[in-house]
Structures are given as C-alpha cells and as structure tokens.
Amino acid sequence: MRVAGICILMVGFTILMGCDNSSKKEGQIQESGIVAGGFKQTTLGNCDTVRNQGVSIRMKIWEPSDSGKAAKSIRTLLAGKVVERINSYADSASIAANPQAYHDAKASFEVFQKNYLDFKKDFPDAPGCWEVALEGDTVMVSSKIIAYKLDHYSFTGGAHPNSFLSFHVFDGKTGEEKDMKAYVSDSVALLKIVEAAFRKLENLTPDVNLEEAGYFLADHKFFLPANYIFTRQGVLFFYNPYEIAAYARGPIEFTIPYQELKGIIDVKDVF
C-alpha cells in the first residue's frame, strides 16, 4: 500500500512537472514570437561561364517558419527587401511596364534580364555575366528582437563587383521593423565613442584630420555608419565600401561592448 502511494505521488509529480515545463515552453514561445526558421534558396537564370555571358540571381534568405503574426510580418518585410534590391538594377520605365516586378522576385528578375539583353544588343562584345547574390541571416535573436543582416553582391559590368551589407532589427513579438536610432538615448555621446573606436582601429591619433588621411566625411564631420546592429558581445558598427573609405580599403567594422555604452543604449530593450 505504501509502495502504491509512492507510485501515485511520483506519477502526480511527473505530470505536474510536465505541465510546468509545457507552460514554461509556451511562455517562451509567446514571449519570443519566433521559434523556428530556415533558409529559403532560389536561383533564377544562369551565368554561362564558358561563353562568359548570361544573367543570374541567387538568393539564400533565412526566414522564420512559424505561423504567428511576427513571423508573417518578417517574411513579408524580407520579401519586399529582396525585390527592392533586384529592382535597384532596373530603370523605372522597365518596372512600370511590368508592375508585378514591384511585388514579385521572379518578375523583378525578368526585368533585370531584359535590361541585360537590351544592353547586349547595344554592346554585343561586352563580356561578363550580370549577377546578383543576396544572402540573409540572423545576427542575434533574443526574446525582444531579431537582429538580421542582408549581404548583397552584384556585378553588372565595370572594373569590379560591388558588395554591401545592411542590418535590420525586427520586434520579437510583432515582427515590426525598428530603427536602431530608437534604441539610442544619447546620439552625441555615441558618436564620440564610435569615432574613438574608429580611430583606434585605423591607428589614428585624435589630432589626425580624417579627410586629409583619405577618409570620406559628410560635411567634413565624422558620422555613424548607416548600418549598426546588436550582437551578444556589443553593438557592431559596419561601414560599407565607399561609405567612409575607398573601395580598396574594403568594409570597416568594429564592435563596442555594452559596458562602454551604458547610459546610451539600455540593454533591457535588447535582451
């Protein structure tokens, strides 16, 4: 009888723990809004490397696979960004002639391909494929945000290919895209810290004139990069090629730990 009683207590405890774990898991899911995802890969067109001609677009985009509101919102936003990137290589008249290109990657590719074929008619001896490659992935995911990066590579003729990286922050519960500036409480203080980190990376003392040293400044003043994002270690600041330095310099990036950004960025909004 005593053994039976113990068994009953153990079964009850197991059920209780199972319910508790289930409740915790459901709470985490509800809190984060995103629990699953994967890469969606698409290739449109083909670059003929033997004849050195053709046009292709390659996409490898991580997106959430949940059916919730946040995941749906993020998928829609990412799809729009992909189409926008492809359309950046087409003229407005070509897109207007194919309105579906405003919303659909395949239609955008068709416009891109038409522009290439029109170009080849005018310059039949011009070598090289036209290529665009887009790759998106998470940088960091917390219960409050999804930090995301979108890599962009392209070659449409010229001396060299081009590439740039953009960062995006999505609300973990709603999927809404948020501006990184919304997390900054003191932009003046942040600018000073970023410039100090920039000079340290580039081995420049505070008295060195950045323009005379060959850097590109806006209105002769140092500026924050267009793209910076949250990571586990701190905030990553990323200057794309041509943004503040020549193409040959490549991208310039550095991470500032959160402890150095106290009073400027509240980590409670991030984690």
> Is the per-residue pLDDT at 80 higher than 50?
yes
Question: How confident is residue 157, by pLDDT bands cut at 50, 70 and 90?
Answer: confident
pLDDT for 52 equals 85
**Higher model confidence: residue 2 or residue 194?**
194
Please, what is the average pLDDT of the chain?
A: 89
CATH 3.90.640.20 domain position(s) in the chain: 181-269
Backbone torsions φ then ψ of 213, nearest 5 degrees: -80, -5
Span 54-63, pLDDT tens digits: 999 999 999 9
Q: How far is CA 262 from the centre of its chain?
A: 25
Using pLDDT thresholds of 50, 70 and 90, give the confidence band for residue 35: confident
Instruction: State the average pLDDT over residues 36-61.
Output: 94
| Main-chain phi, psi angles of 228, to 5 degrees | -145, 155
Q: Are 105 and 79 in contact (CB under 8 A)?
A: yes
Q: Report which residue type is found at 154.
A: S
pLDDT at 1 over 90: no
Q: What is the pLDDT of residue 14?
A: 45
pTM (two decimals): 0.84
Residue ranges, CATH 3.30.565.40, the chain: 32-178
pLDDT tens, 185-207? Answer: 999 999 999 999 999 999 999 99
Overall fold of domain 181-269 = Actin; Chain A, domain 4 (3.90.640)
- Statement: residue 79 has pLDDT above 70: yes
Burial of 181: CB neighbours in 10 Å, binned 0-12, 13-18, 19+: exposed
pLDDT > 70 fraction of the chain, expressed in percent and rounded = 88
Would you say domain 32-178 falls under CATH 3.30.565.40? yes
Tokens matching residue 84: 């926008």
CA dihedral sign of residues 39, 42, 46, 47: negative
pLDDT in tens, 241-266: 999 999 999 999 999 999 999 999 98
Structure tokens at 67: 């059916």
In tens, the pLDDT along 81-136 reads 999 999 999 888 999 999 999 999 999 999 999 999 999 999 998 888 999 999 99
Across the range 32-57, mean pLDDT stands at: 90
